[in-house]
Structure 1
Amino acid sequence: MESGFNEKDFLACCGSTKFAQEMALAAPFASLEQAVAAATDIWFNKVDVSAWLQAFSAHPQIGDSAPSSQSHHQTTSAQWSKGEQSTALATATGSSLQALSEWNARYRQKFGFIFIICASGRSTDEILAELKNRYPNRPIVEFEIAAQEQMKVTELRLKKLFTSKAKVSSTSDEYPAVFAKKVEEDRVNIIGGHLTANSENTAGRTSEVRTRTRPPITTHVLDVSRGSPAAGIEVFLEKWEGTQPRPSFGVTYTSGWKVLGSSTTDNDGRSGQLMSIVDAVDPGIYRISFNTGKYCPSGFFPYASIVFEIRESQKREHFHVPLLLSPFSFSTYRGS
Structure 2
Amino acid sequence: MSSNPTPGLARFNAAADRTARAALREACASEAWGSRLLERRPYPSTDALFAASDAAMAELTAADLAEAMAGHPPIGRPTPGDATSSREQRGMSAAGDDLKAEMLALNLAYQEKFGHVFLICATGRTGEQLRDAARNRLDNTPEQEREIVRTELGKINRIRLGRLVEDAADPADAAEGARP
TM-score range, shorter chain: 0.7 to 0.9
CA contact (8 A) 1:62 1:85 kept: yes
Q: Bigger radius of gyration, 1 or 2?
A: 1
Residue type matched to 1:145 in 2?
I
1:7 alignment counterpart = 21
Query: How far 1:67 sits from its partner (Å)?
Result: 5.5
Q: Does 1:66 align with 2:79?
A: yes
1:25 alignment counterpart = 39
1:156 alignment counterpart = 159
Equivalences for residues 260-279 of structure 1 within 5 A: none
Q: Does 1:42 align with 2:56?
A: yes
CA distance in 1, matches of 2:53, 2:78: 27
CA distance in 1, matches of 2:89, 2:166: 19
Equivalences for residues 1-336 of structure 1 within 5 A: 1=5, 2=10, 3-4=12-13, 5=15, 6-45=20-59, 47-66=60-79, 78-90=82-94, 92-165=95-168, 168=169
Q: TM-score, normalised by structure 1?
A: 0.45
Q: What percentage of residue pairs aligned between the two structures are identical?
A: 26
CA distance in 1, matches of 2:62, 2:88: 25
1:180 alignment counterpart = none
Higher strand proportion (structure 1 or 2): 1
CA distance in 2, matches of 1:44, 1:131: 23
CA contact (8 A) 1:88 1:119 kept: no
Higher helix proportion (structure 1 or 2): 2
Residue type matched to 1:83 in 2?
R
Query: How far 1:151 sits from its partner (Å)?
Result: 0.6
Unpaired runs of at least 5, structure 2: 171-180
Residue type matched to 1:120 in 2?
T
CA distance in 2, matches of 1:85, 1:52: 20
Number of residue pairs the alignment of both structures matches: 156
CA distance in 2, matches of 1:140, 1:103: 19
Unpaired runs of at least 5, structure 1: 69-77, 170-336
1:259 alignment counterpart = none
Which of structures 1 and 2 has the larger relative contact order (alpha carbons within 8 angstroms, sep 6+)? Answer: 2
Q: TM-score, normalised by structure 2?
A: 0.81
Per-residue CA shift, 1:74-112, capped at 9, x if unaligned?
xxxx3221111112212x000000000001100000000
Residue type matched to 1:25 in 2?
E
Give the CA RMSD over aligned residues: 1.6
